[in-house]
Amino acid sequence: MKRSAGLVRSLSATISLGALAVSGPALADTLREALVESYNTNPTLQAARSDQRATDEGVPIAKASGLPTVNVTATHIEFLRQSANAFTAPERNLGVNAALLVPVYSGGAVRNNIKAAKERVSAGQASLRNTESTLFSQVVAAYMDVLRTEALASLSANQVDVLAINLEATSDRFEIGDLTVTDVAQSRSRLAVARGDLRVAQANLIAARETYIQLVGSAPVDLQAPPPLPGLPDAVGEAIVISLESNPNLISARERAQAAGFDTEVAGAGRLPTLGLFANGDYSNFFGTLGGPIASTLVQQETTANVGVRLTIPLFQGGLPAAQQRQAGARESAALEEVIRIERQIIAETRATYSNWQASLAVIESSQAAVEAAELSLEGVRAENSIGNRQILDVLNAEQELLSARAQLVTARRNAYVAGFNLLALMGRAEARDLNLETGGPLYDPQVNYERVKNKRWDWARDPEPEAKSKRTVDIPAAEATIGPQLEPGE
């Protein structure tokens, strides 16, 4: 039967040693293809990249405060009502002012603002890495959930077929007086329960496929057994050491704490003097209206220019700079505490995930033994029932035990793979660069955009109009509970 072949394939998938980068041409979806598609089209990841590009602009914004500014102001005035004593007042005036301001010293505010902005860029890049590995963990879980629910639906469907045949055989034996009505009722009850379980398994399968569509952006088509996971640790201590060094969420928290420290320095700069250079040029034109009756004797246009140095020494600001520095210091303290909180969280999650992974591997081993024993038991119970040494209930119980053992094995394989990948994510080793997903072009590098914008000075430098890059799923048909390939629209 086709269903039985799919069941055998689901039950025979194992986790072995190797590298996730290894893949070959296939007629069905692979985990690598799912990760690549989500990497290129998932809206959560695309939005995180856009947010990081916005963070990059903090550096040129901070630098702008320390650069010269040039402004030109033009003012045209019509004097509608003059003083009765103003015999030579003009009727109109055009004034043009050009001003150049060059900041020289700002108490370290500009310098520390730039340092804080750079730290936030680094923190954002680490957060982007965390978003990427989190998305990949979700995709892996969704991929394995589809495989698991397909296998469980196959098991349930196969159980319905077996119990239907069993009920038919029981009914035939009842007709010839070999069995009682109780045996028939027991068989009918188990078949009804199995049919209900099948409906639940089918609903779970549809839900798993819809989650896959949401994350990946396409329907799952005959998913293949996943490749082996690379770089898993040999001991929980090794995992902890790597996580504390490489976990992107923890790295981001440390960078944000550094930025908060520079913010405190910026706030303290409000007490210090500021020094700047300035140059002004002015042009005025009264259009022949200055002087009234003696206008012909007065100059109607004039230009002036001046340069100078401006030193500002704050003496009293109502406690503003002290309050701002205390506020920034409190936020720095909170950022430092956040580092400890995330560090604790990473340690706890790494230890728990490692334990779950090891437990799932142990469950796989025990479940395989349970399946083999249950298969042998069912075969023996059936043989003994055929000669009258076992009741129908014994056969039904043996079949249920075999189904439970197989379901436990399928679930344990899913749990082991997902826990293993989550462990890699906690260790900072579950990103596209670690999984060698360079498919369809180079990997996205946030540093490229930062290098592009960090020294931009031109006020009119603009990027193209924003547009969504992620893939919509509105045209993908609703998932079904059928076991086998699901075709995309138009296929």
Q: Which of 54-58, 296-300, 354-358, 362-366 has the lowest mean pLDDT?
A: 296-300
| Ordered DSSP codes for 122-172 | HHHHHHHHHHHHHHHHHHHHHHHHHHHHHHHHHHHHHHHHHHHHHHHHHHH
Residue 316's CB is within 10 A of a number of other CB atoms, namely: 6
pLDDT digits (tens, 9 = 90+) for 31-81: 999 999 999 999 999 999 999 999 999 999 999 999 999 999 999 999 888
Give the pLDDT of residue 173: 86
The domain segmentation of the chain, as residue ranges, is: 2-67+113-272+343-436+443-452
Give the pLDDT of residue 12: 36
Contact 11, 368 (CB under 8 A): no
Q: 325-330, long-range: CB within 8 Å, 24+ apart, which pairs?
A: 325/264, 325/267, 325/268, 325/270, 327/267, 328/260, 328/263, 328/264, 328/266, 328/267, 328/268, 329/264, 329/267
Gap between the Cα atoms of 164 and 446, Å rounded: 59
Give the pLDDT of residue 386: 85
DSSP label at 303?
E
Instruction: Check pLDDT > 70 for residue 5.
Output: no
Residue 298's CB is within 10 A of a number of other CB atoms, namely: 13
Of 167, 228, 234, 237, the closest CA to residue 392 belongs to 167
**Confidence band (pLDDT; 50, 70, 90) for 16?**
very low
Give the pLDDT of residue 439: 62
pTM summary value: 0.87
Give the pLDDT of residue 4: 35
Contact 135, 38 (CB under 8 A): yes
pLDDT digits (tens, 9 = 90+) for 432-485: 999 888 766 789 999 999 999 999 999 898 899 999 989 899 999 999 988 754
Instruction: Check pLDDT > 90 for residue 290.
Output: no
Say which amino acid occupies 444: Y
Say which amino acid occupies 370: A
> Mean per-residue pLDDT for 350-374?
97
Residue 93's CB is within 10 A of a number of other CB atoms, namely: 17
CATH of 2-67+113-272+343-436+443-452, picked from 1.20.1600.10, 3.40.140.10, 3.30.470.10, 3.40.50.150, is 1.20.1600.10
Give the pLDDT of residue 298: 85
> Mean per-residue pLDDT for 193-212?
96
